[in-house]
Structure 1
């Protein structure tokens, strides 16, 4: 499958798996519809979101998850603040193993290998045409942990520089077509763009390869609702997803992570004016606005609506759509 945007690819994938599954099975007792050896190509990976209102994309979680990866953390407290179901996948209720891709990327194995820096150096200092710029995520040792409930779904990510563009290919052993695909492609294409900006390259195509792509029976009704809505949607968005600033964004990521932790732990609150005064590009200020809005939601406080007004229209759409009751009646909706 080749599509211009994730929205288009998501709708076609969902339709295909839901109505044309190759297999009906129950891995680990969970009934699902499944296809094997799935592939898609995104021509414009920056357009990494789906806009259908019934799907209720959680843009705050999307940014939080990829920044969790980029922080190198496996801390459950970080990500469970944004998704209350994450503790279900932790064996010790303190950390995550398979789901936490950050330690795999930046401190892989006993040698604590920084794979991100290695492939960046490989592509810039050794061989611009390299076929070896691969970040390994899945570790064979995960299958030898008795009762492991959190095995990495992603095998790895491969980067290619071709004709002054950075292409990326992901390989996954399994992917939930309804839920996981939304956040996984957001994170992977975000990392592709981050690397491209750092290397001063244009963003090339993104390739998504999955061994088993599936929809769990528990999501059938919701998936059907989304597909019904898609029949009356032309697939064209009124928004354009923001582009990351060119250059090395790591100093900005570090600043955002510093404030994210303070907001998450409720050690500070930030107004729109507070965020505006920070020495950050607007792209990263917008993410802090989202985290500040979510702090009000998570701690069930009245909203500072100036934060919402400071958001770009695309982010206003996602926040209002996800937490409609909160913004219309002040009722606090659980994430």
Structure 2
């Protein structure tokens, strides 16, 4: 049986993951010019969620920034006004010096897409309220939505199944579930 490793604190998980990526990495990548080693599909359990901050001398962690960033995401923001105070270097990732684009996950999760009235998070919550065991929830994390109206929005599609293998549907990240026979989203006309 496949099992996920369990650690008492984030330090144990962090050190184990460093050993794994150092000795058994699957890929070498260079995202935005930063060379790194990568292992895909790794997970772990942390039974005590209060033990999620790394307290390692060699790891320069800023818990104040980490909490500020979490609050910024949960507030659904993409502007730099608040988060720029805690991480001034984030301003260099902004095309206009005011907002961040795709890495502002909270904005994508907690705000309705253009032309919609319900956020992806609220849409999935409603789905889970009505279908407790559903596997059809989809939360987009990245978006190419930029600070200007001229930047295009992408639509993510995800095939999904419920507890019954025959019950297959298609999901538009902007509009929600569609029938499996739809060629394009009837609301926003985005094709698969």
Short-chain TM bin: 0.5 to 0.7
1:105, 1:136 within 8 Å by CA — same for their partners in 2? yes
* Number of residues of Structure 1 aligned to a counterpart in Structure 2: 143
1:54 — aligned with what? 58
* 1:113 is aligned to 2:132: no
2:21, 2:39 within 8 Å by CA — same for their partners in 1? no
Q: 1:134 to 1:7 in 2, by over 3 A?
A: farther
TM-score, reference length from structure 1 = 0.38
Match of 1:40 among 38, 43, 49: 43
Once the two structures are TM-superposed, the CA of residue 6 in structure 1 deviates from its matched residue by 2.5
Once the two structures are TM-superposed, the CA of residue 81 in structure 1 deviates from its matched residue by 0.6
Distance 2:139 2:30 in 1: 31
Distance 2:138 2:52 in 1: 22
CA RMSD of aligned residues (A): 2.7
- Alignment of structure 1 residues 1-335 onto 2, 5 Å: 2-4=5-7, 5-30=9-34, 32-44=35-47, 46=49, 47-110=51-114, 111-124=116-129, 126-139=130-143, 141=144
Distance 1:74 1:82 in 2: 14
Q: Of the two structures, which has the highest relative contact order with CA contacts closer than 8 Å and spacing of 6 or more?
A: 1
Distance 2:13 2:57 in 1: 16
Once the two structures are TM-superposed, the CA of residue 7 in structure 1 deviates from its matched residue by 2.2
Unpaired runs of 5+ residues, structure 1, are 149-154, 156-335
Q: 1:33 to 1:75 in 2, by over 3 A?
A: closer
Once the two structures are TM-superposed, the CA of residue 36 in structure 1 deviates from its matched residue by 4.1
Distance 1:134 1:6 in 2: 27
Task: Answer 1 or 2: which has greater helix percent.
Answer: 1
Once the two structures are TM-superposed, the CA of residue 92 in structure 1 deviates from its matched residue by 0.5
Once the two structures are TM-superposed, the CA of residue 127 in structure 1 deviates from its matched residue by 1.2
Once the two structures are TM-superposed, the CA of residue 132 in structure 1 deviates from its matched residue by 2.0
Distance 2:55 2:111 in 1: 35
2:103, 2:142 within 8 Å by CA — same for their partners in 1? no
Distance 1:130 1:63 in 2: 31
* Cα deviations by residue, 1:73-108 (Å, 9 ceiling, x for unpaired): 111121111112101110111000112112211114
Unpaired runs of 5+ residues, structure 2, are 157-192
SS of 1:38's equivalent in the other structure is coil
Q: 1:117 to 1:17 in 2, by over 3 A?
A: same
Q: 1:137 to 1:108 in 2, by over 3 A?
A: farther
1:72, 1:103 within 8 Å by CA — same for their partners in 2? yes
SS of 2:53's equivalent in the other structure is coil
Distance 1:135 1:98 in 2: 14
Distance 2:105 2:31 in 1: 23
